[in-house]
Chains A and B, each alone.
Chain A
Amino acid sequence: MLGFCVARKEAPMKTLAGYRRLAPGTQPAHLHLPYVSSAKRAPTQSLVQMPHTLSEITGPVFTSRIVGDACIDLTRQHSGEPLGERIILSGKVIDEDGRPLPNTLIEIWQANAAGRYFHSVDLHNAPLDPNFTGRGHVLTDAEGHYRFVTIRPGEYPWRNHYNAWRPAHVHFSVFGPAFATRLITQMYFPGDPLLEFDPVYNCTADEPARRRLISLFDWQTTIPEEALGYRFDIVLRGRDATPMEGCS
């Protein structure tokens, strides 16, 4: 990845590094035929490779003024408590160099305990829960930590192939410091027997990379007589160490 120079009349040149290219195999290709709906939606032409510019190394800087108060307890958004197994979902957002990423926006959404989403296009005949919307958001703290209280989502059927079922998962949307670091992913649960059959989970060639989508059961965050803890750490792209030569 090339670096970047900012030129301005009234100040000396300043060189900024771009973000590192993603390790081969650790990210899904756009076309993954076992995931049927990728066939008509994945581009067919090669992507045009380009270095990062100021447009990609900047990105929206969210503040609590913009995103509103954090919504970290998904079990207290209605008059009653949702059905299901209460869990603590926590972790840390870092970059590929291990640096914590503070003040980064995380948005999550998930199905209820019966495997039904609070969404008009979800026609699965499992019940909706009037006490569960399945939406949360938070800005990471100064050390990059986040924590949600929610319920364990249910598995659910979908129509990708005969007898297709999605493993239990929580959707995560994360911004990081730049347009280049934007990530949307899904977090899974350890020991889920559906993982090996799921074309979405299996879309990434590299097995260790896939396995990092599985949260870890965590005694440290488990609250006695209250909720089981799961830990899910998120890594965003690291900074390129070598800015482009010849900028000055």
Chain B
Amino acid sequence: MFVGMGYQATTSQTVGPYFMIGLEPLNRDQIAAADIGGERINIEGQVLDGDGQPVPDAVLETWQANEEGRYIHPEDLQGESGGEGFFGFGRIPTDAEGRFRFTTVKPGPVPAPDGGTQGPHIVVSVFMRGLLTRLITRIYFFGDPHNEKDFVLNLVDPARRGTLMAKPTDEDKSVLVWNVNLQGENETVFFDC
């Protein structure tokens, strides 16, 4: 199978409608255990297709830093983190109404390639039947002062940046709403990276 000097990454295929069989054991919507430090937040939303119909068979995977902005990974070289026991990975399937909800701690700002700082964010992969390869997006936090200088946000048309912002609801400030619109007027910004 491997002939020649270099290899090419294997082709992506859709996750299909039956992914729960294989992926369910690692579902996690409680991303930070009770003893993990940081501001506790709930993020909820809905995945909607081009007709505005809920997508009941999508799965989101999230990856984030801890409250200090450190990733639990050998290539995060920011030094020892005080946050023991944090893993940073979430896997949340949508329900019959296309809704998802997860609980975590707000990540801290993380370093940017330009030497600056990225606004606190969660990176997200979206998989579903009908998507031949994942969609990549980010959840930022509406009103966070670090957003202004975030170089990734600044790559995005200002008119569309709002689709990346988790916003508190009027009733409950601990619940942030962030939706995935696959198409349409408020189509979510997806990244190629």
Contact = CB atoms under 8 A, between A and B. Distances in A.
A and B: real partners?
A: yes
A14 interface: yes
Size category of the binding interface on chain B: 35 or more
Given A10-B79, A58-B71, A134-B21, A41 B156 contact: no
A39 B1 CA distance: 33
Nearest to A37: B130
B51 interface: yes
Nearest to A185: B13
Interface stretch (A81-89, A202-210, A221-229): A202-210
Contacts of A98: 2, 6-7
Interface of A, helix, strand, loop or mixed by DSSP: loop
B190 interface: yes
A122 interface: yes
B57 interface: yes
A40 B75 contact: no
Range for the number of chain A residues in contact with chain B: 35 or more
A179 B63 contact: yes
A37 B56 CA distance: 13
B128 A41 contact: yes
A16 B75 contact: yes
A23 B72 contact: no
Interface string A174-205: 00011110111110000000000000110110
Interface of B is mostly: loop
Contacts of A37: 129-130
Given A8-B78, A54-B111, A40 B134 contact: no
Contacts of A185: 10-13
Interface of A: 2-8, 10-11, 13-14, 16, 22-23, 26-30, 32, 35, 37-45, 47-61, 66-68, 94-98, 107-109, 111, 117-119, 121-122, 133-137, 171, 173, 177-180, 182-186, 200-201, 203-204, 206, 209-210, 212-213, 216, 231, 233-238, 244, 247
24 contacts: A26-B9, A27-B9, A28-B11, A35-B14, A40-B51, A40-B183, A43-B135, A43-B183, A52-B193, A54-B75, A54-B111, A55-B121, A58-B75, A61-B73, A67-B26, A97-B7, A109-B23, A117-B21, A122-B17, A135-B25, A212-B10, A212-B11, A235-B9, A236-B9
